[in-house]
Chains A and B, each alone.
Chain A
Amino acid sequence: MDERRLSLVDLLDRLLAGGVVIVGEVTLGVAEVELVRIDLRALVASVEAL
């Protein structure tokens, strides 16, 4: 796939909601992942407000 055309949002759909989920030695927990999504929305909103 052409990396430039691949949107970050498509990527995050899969990388944050798909894939093998492990409770590992150090893993980003589900709660933080939810935070990422919320933060992304907040970030976009703040960019638009500038």
Chain B
Amino acid sequence: MTPEELLYAYAIAREGALRPETLENLTGVAGEPVRAVPHLGLAALVGRVPAAEFDEGALAEGMEDLSRLERVARGHQRVVEELSAALRCVLPMRLATVYRDETGVRRMLAAGRMDFGAALDRLDGRVEWGVKVYALMEPSEPSGASGVDGPSGACGSDAGAKPSGREYLRRRGAARRARGEGVRDIHGALAGLAERARVYPPQNSRLSGASGRNVLNAAYLVRRERGGDFTSVVGELAEAGPRSGLRVELTGPWAPYSFVREDGDG
């Protein structure tokens, strides 16, 4: 370990779950081999990365560069996903958790060992599924309509060609209520199949490039062996979605990023 290198931490696992072949051919965010730093029955999976790219200043700068952020994020995710496939349970670290040396990594494992042990037990054999629901744009709605009319629209002075203002509002209100109920039903059905659920803020469609307005962005913690049931219910909901003006999208399975903390908020 030279001063020009740092340790990037990807995940925490039980030391006993690691096999010699688990880390074979596994490379990290800087193309480096991933290895284990064992301590007190736990192991942190780390890789040596150049300090010039991963020390505090470089990270703060690098995270503003979208292509670099994306490279690090995808590299981190790839390692976590491969570990997650090979082991029954890993706790993914938050992006860009970096240590000066192994002493720091072992100190982190020692300080958090009770929490990490409890989380590994709680999440053993579970994965996370992501479900997003989008409100489809209705043909009768002006583009970009999200419930707020411009000040001039309120007087109806130039609404001549449209159906009556009252009829328009009635239809739009009914469509919105149907969508709202649809979203609640979808979340209720999926939360019922999951051990836990976490709702993220809706995604900005300009960032995601998705069409429609994101009205639900949620993660569900599901036992691995129940994944088939969960995804087939998502499939049914996706098929029924357009009837309530909704599009349903599934991602996963993910390592349980969203459920590492016990209180359900991370």
Contact = CB atoms under 8 A, between A and B. Distances in A.
Interface in A1-50: 1, 3, 6-22, 24-28, 32, 35-36, 39-41, 43-45, 48
Interface residues of B, number: 57
Given A1-B251, A32-B60, A36-B63, A18 B266 contact: yes
A16 to B, nearest CB: 6
B196 interface: no
Given A15-B77, A28-B56, A39-B63, A20 B207 contact: no
B100 interface: yes
Interface string B57-77: 001100110100110011011
A45 B66 CA distance: 13
Contacts, number: 142
A25 B98 contact: yes
A8 B232 CA distance: 25
A48 B161 CA distance: 33
Interface of A: 1, 3, 6-22, 24-28, 32, 35-36, 39-41, 43-45, 48
Interface of B: 6, 9, 12, 54-56, 59-60, 63-64, 66, 69-70, 73-74, 76-78, 81, 91-101, 104, 108, 112, 116, 119, 128, 130, 132, 200, 203-204, 206-210, 217, 219, 251-254, 257-260, 266
